[in-house]
Structure 1
Amino acid sequence: MKFSKKTISNIVFVIIIGLLLYPPTKVYFIRLISFSPSVITDDKQEKLTDYNWNLKGLNTANIDFNETKNKVVFINFWATWCPPCIAEMPSIQKLYDDYKDKVTFVFVSNENWTVIDDFYIKNSYNLPTYNTLSKVPGQLKSNSIPATFIIDKKGNIITDKKGPANWNSAKVRELLDELIK
């Protein structure tokens, strides 16, 4: 049986598309093309105006977001079923491991703890995770996940990234080191 060049190229195309749709390959590909997030320029930064947000700790204590005032905060909205979220989690875990005592990390999901705990156990993650108990501040709302924000001590939103990123990059670490000073 002889295949034409067109048939071979169509088969290769279908295989590539199939691999990209297959979740483990999709996550790997997303991780491969994820770069460091951009920092918002000073003239475009917004100051967070609403800290009235209550969060239920799933594997940590509950938090009144007002407690994060005057602190550097890393907020990530995510879900266990989201391939871009899954792709960026290893870099976030590494960042958390090194900065958890200097930066307030807030990981927000609307999933129940059983689902998240199974995901964490499977992947050896230990990120402080919350469900929201009250309305998310408007400046932190997003129609897509992952959505990640870095807020400085003055309440300025320094990074507003929708989609996956490499959070363990030298660029992000330099940013956090600068904000912690």
Structure 2
Amino acid sequence: MKKRKFKISDIIFVGFIILLLIPQTRTPIQVAVNKLKVAVWSPSLEDANDQDQVAPFQYAVTDLQGASRNVAVGEGKVTFISYWATWCPPCIAELPGIQQLYDAYGDRVNFLLLTQETPEKVERFVRKKGYELPIYFPQMQTPAILQENSIPTNYVIDAQGTIIIKETGAADWNSSKVRNLLNELLAK
């Protein structure tokens, strides 16, 4: 039997696997891999025949400071909804793009970044990363039409309640495709 010689690529592969097994290095590696996906993956528009309609409703939420409020969805204003978590590598990877989109459109689009985590944990995460996003904690059952078992799941809903984009997994939310769509929806 011929003895196999180790190559440098074998050593790198074994090292990579070991890094994935160590909890402290696993998440940064997963975030980096998802950032590569975000760099090339722009959200897809729903096919016109497949677009669902959200009945107008008020999303009951609590903000990071504990204040309760209701945010209108499908009631005359474009809405961006993101279901996410601080421990989710694809969520972490796409947040910089969401922050850039919010910076550009936050005054004209309802942004709802919804998480089930504790406010203290989310506050530490946001402070550490330097995000200034409208993060909320749902105080009601998610409407059936917006229920999804995966995070991140993001929606762009027009002013009449039509779901224009439903994207599960990390994506580039600051792409020209998304910006053009928002500009078009806001011009209506």
Q: Is the 8 A contact 2:58 2:73 kept in 1?
A: no
Q: Is the 8 A contact 2:56 2:74 kept in 1?
A: no
Helix, strand or coil: the match of 1:53?
strand
Structure 1 counterpart of 2:172, from 166, 169, 175:
166
Q: TM-score, normalised by structure 1?
A: 0.89
Q: Pick which of 100-109 and 65-74 moved more.
A: 65-74
CA shift, 1:19, in A, is 4.8
* CA distance in 2 between partners of 1:90 and 1:66 (Å): 25
Q: Which AA in structure 1 matches 2:166?
A: D
Deviations 1:40-80 (A, max 9, x none): 01111010026253111224853324465111000001111
Q: Pick which of 11-20 and 69-78 moved more.
A: 11-20
Partner of 2:14: 14
Helix, strand or coil: the match of 1:148?
strand
CA shift, 1:24, in A, is 1.4
Q: TM-score, normalised by structure 2?
A: 0.86
Which structure 1 segments of 5+ residues have no match? none
Q: Which AA in structure 1 matches 2:33?
A: F
| Closer, same or farther: CA 157–60 of 1 in aligned 2, 3 Å | farther
Helix, strand or coil: the match of 1:161?
strand
Deviations 1:15-46 (A, max 9, x none): 23345662212211111112110000111101
- Establish whether residue 157 from structure 1 lines up as the match of residue 186 from structure 2: no
Q: Is the 8 A contact 1:60 1:129 kept in 2?
A: no
| Closer, same or farther: CA 58–38 of 1 in aligned 2, 3 Å | same
Deviations 1:90-149 (A, max 9, x none): 111111111101110001011121111111111110111111111111111110101100
Which structure 2 segments of 5+ residues have no match? none
* CA distance in 1 between partners of 2:73 and 2:33 (Å): 38
Measured on the aligned residues, the alpha-carbon RMSD in Å equals 2.1
